[in-house]
Amino acid sequence: MSVDILFIYPPTGWSPKAMNIAENDAPPIGLLYVAAAARRGGLSVAVLDLNHPTLTASETVDAISRMAPRIIAFSVLTTASASVKRLVAPIKSAFPGLPLVAGGIHATVLPEDLLKAGIDFVVRGEGEERFYELARAIIDGKPVDKIPGVVFRDGSAVVAGPRNVAIRDLDALAYPARDLVPLGDYGQAGAICGSRGCPYSCSFCSSVLSQGHLYRTRATAKVVEEMDSMHAEFGTTRFQFFDDNFTADVERAAALSKALLSRSYVWACQTTVMELAGRLDVLDLMFEAGCREVYFGLETGSRRLMQQYKGLNPERALVVLTHAASRVSNGNGHPASRLQTVAGFILGHPEDDEQSIEETVQFALTLRSMGVDTMMSIMQPYPGSLLHRTPARYGVTIENTSFEDYLYPKANLSTRHLSRERIRDLYAGGLLRIMRTYETGVV
């Protein structure tokens, strides 16, 4: 077997065996979009997800040798950048001259980090159009310096093509090439994207600089069509929307829900509270249409910070979250169950202090007593976020620059109010109090 392109999805910083697989149990949708576009252009493609099944470096080299690709292309999140760097040397020594390409969020925001490690070409931004052009140019021996988004080394110089602009018409894209991965092995096999980008600009989010504020949506009919095709091809009935913010356009969320009323699919999404605060009817509609899990990025439970970040107050947030958590259905075409409601919090915001963190933990405990699940993480300085780009502006110090440690339970920065160690201890203490509510059922 030989292929033009072998796409590789590397593991995050945790060793695959120690990794909480649920965190990483989704097919790499971004990479599968890029693979589908390359295939549509006539290139033969294969995908190796090093998490499914987990492969060591030498097993990866063996797999590459069996597939004999003309180009290797990695999808790189920051937490996976160390894995990619570790793979470069064995691949280069086994296959000298084989071009190595990288794309994805980390490659987009820090291309030189990967070029320095031996990657030959980086594609910044959305890869569907640009990767295909690059791959064709490499195969045909044509120049690559005019391709938007492409960055490469020329001797000691780093050459960058023009800026890669965001794709406007998401409906024109080929569906992600899900057939190239062992779809049945993923917990979140129903991953699907109905929109890209987000109109907000939270300081800790990499979407801001990597995808810009350009919020783009697909036609609802097209999204439903893709769900139907996944149902027909893979038997999918449970879907996970990977949109950054499912209700960023609340009317669109309502329209998509209406279109799903006639299907018996179950689905999950992530969103923010703001848009739904005055539109509980949309939440009801989503539930009626099969939404059975909703993750709210609340980020803080402190009155002061909630106001500052989201223009919200805890009472308003409570109305939305408790409304969601009290939705119960006895069937009606969709599975009889409740709406699992999850509130996500981050500890260690630049303005967090002992008191605001205590308020966040208290708020989480209040939510637990009302049937809402909570998820706590520690603030990370992800490249691509404003916090990483201008830490001094936010009064934070990045104490650890080892990217593989940028995982939600690890403390890697200090703020003007709290040391890194104190953030870690407050997180551990808060988490313990919340975990106890799951053990005992008593809040």
Which parts of this chain interact with ligand B12 (CB under 6 A)?
Answer: 12, 23-24, 26, 28-31, 33-34, 73, 75, 77-80, 101, 103-106, 123, 126-128, 131, 193, 205-207, 211, 242, 244, 382-384, 407-408
Q: In whole angstroms, how close is the CB of 410 to ligand SF4 at the nearest point?
A: 19
**C-alpha distances in angstroms, 140 versus 26, 134, 179, 267, 421?**
34, 10, 27, 43, 54
Q: Which does 412 bind (CB under 5 to 8 A by kind): ligand SF4, ligand B12, none?
A: none
387 touches ligand SF4 (CB under 6 A):
no
CB contact at 8 A, 322 and 380? no
Q: Which does 201 bind (CB under 5 to 8 A by kind): ligand SF4, ligand B12, none?
A: ligand SF4
C-alpha to C-alpha distance for 382 and 134, rounded to whole angstroms: 27
Q: In whole angstroms, how close is the CB of 279 to ligand SF4 at the nearest point?
A: 17
Which CB sits closer to ligand B12, 49 or 314? 49
Contact flags string 208-227 toward ligand SF4, x per CB under 6 A: x-------------------
Beta-bridge partner residues of 307: none
Which CB sits closer to ligand SF4, 131 or 200? 200
Q: In whole angstroms, how close is the CB of 428 to ligand SF4 at the nearest point?
A: 24
269 touches ligand SF4 (CB under 6 A):
no
**C-alpha distances in angstroms, 8 versus 104, 154, 425?**
12, 24, 37
Q: Which does 24 bind (CB under 5 to 8 A by kind): ligand B12, ligand SF4, none?
A: ligand B12
Q: Which of 24, 79, 81, 207 binds ligand SF4 (CB under 6 A)?
A: 207
Q: In whole angstroms, how close is the CB of 364 to ligand B12 at the nearest point?
A: 18
Return the range that interacts with ligand SF4 (CB under 6 A); candidates 37-45, 204-212, 259-267, 427-435: 204-212
Three-state SS across the chain? CCCCEEEEECCCCCCCCCCCHHHHCCCCHHHHHHHHHHHHCCCCEEEEECECCECCHHHHHHHHHHHCCCEEEEECCHHHHHHHHHHHHHHHHHCCCCCEEEECHHHHHCHHHHHHCCCCEEECCCHHHHHHHHHHHHHHCCCCCCCCCEEEEECCEEEECCCCCCCCCHHHCCCCCHHHCCHHHCCCCCEECCEECCCCCCCCCCHHHHHCCCCEECCHHHHHHHHHHHHHHHCCCEEEECCCCCCCCHHHHHHHHHHHCCCCCEEEEEECCHHHCCCHHHHHHHHHCCEEEEEEEEECCCHHHHHHHHCCCHHHHHHHHHHHHCCECCCCCCCCCECEEEEEEEECCCCCCHHHHHHHHHHHHHHHHCCCEEEEEECCCCCCCHHHHCHHHHCCEECCCCHHHCCCCCCCEECCCCCHHHHHHHHHHHHHHHHHHHHHCCC
Q: Which does 382 bind (CB under 5 to 8 A by kind): ligand SF4, ligand B12, none?
A: ligand B12
Q: In whole angstroms, how close is the CB of 83 to ligand SF4 at the nearest point?
A: 24
Which CB sits closer to ligand SF4, 75 or 270? 270
71 touches ligand SF4 (CB under 6 A):
no
Positive or negative, the CA dihedral 106, 107, 111, 114 is positive
244 touches ligand SF4 (CB under 6 A):
yes
Name residue, tokens 């990045």: 398
245 touches ligand SF4 (CB under 6 A):
yes
Range 425-429, long-range pairs (CB < 8 A, 24+ positions): 426/347, 426/354, 426/357, 427/347, 427/348, 427/376, 427/378, 429/361
Q: Which does 200 bind (CB under 5 to 8 A by kind): ligand SF4, ligand B12, none?
A: ligand SF4
Q: Which of 127, 161, 297, 430 binds ligand SF4 (CB under 6 A)?
A: 297
Q: Which of 73, 110, 181, 202 binds ligand SF4 (CB under 6 A)?
A: 202
Q: Which does 26 bind (CB under 5 to 8 A by kind): ligand B12, ligand SF4, none?
A: ligand B12
Which CB sits closer to ligand SF4, 9 or 246? 246
What is the footprint of ligand SF4 within residues 300-359 (CB under 6 A)?
A: none
Q: Which of 100, 205, 253, 361 binds ligand SF4 (CB under 6 A)?
A: 205
Q: Which does 257 bind (CB under 5 to 8 A by kind): ligand B12, ligand SF4, none?
A: none
Which CB sits closer to ligand B12, 18 or 336? 18
253 touches ligand SF4 (CB under 6 A):
no
Q: Which does 202 bind (CB under 5 to 8 A by kind): ligand B12, ligand SF4, none?
A: ligand SF4
272 touches ligand SF4 (CB under 6 A):
yes
The residues that touch ligand SF4, with contacts defined as CB under 6 A, are 198, 200-202, 205, 207-208, 244-245, 272, 297
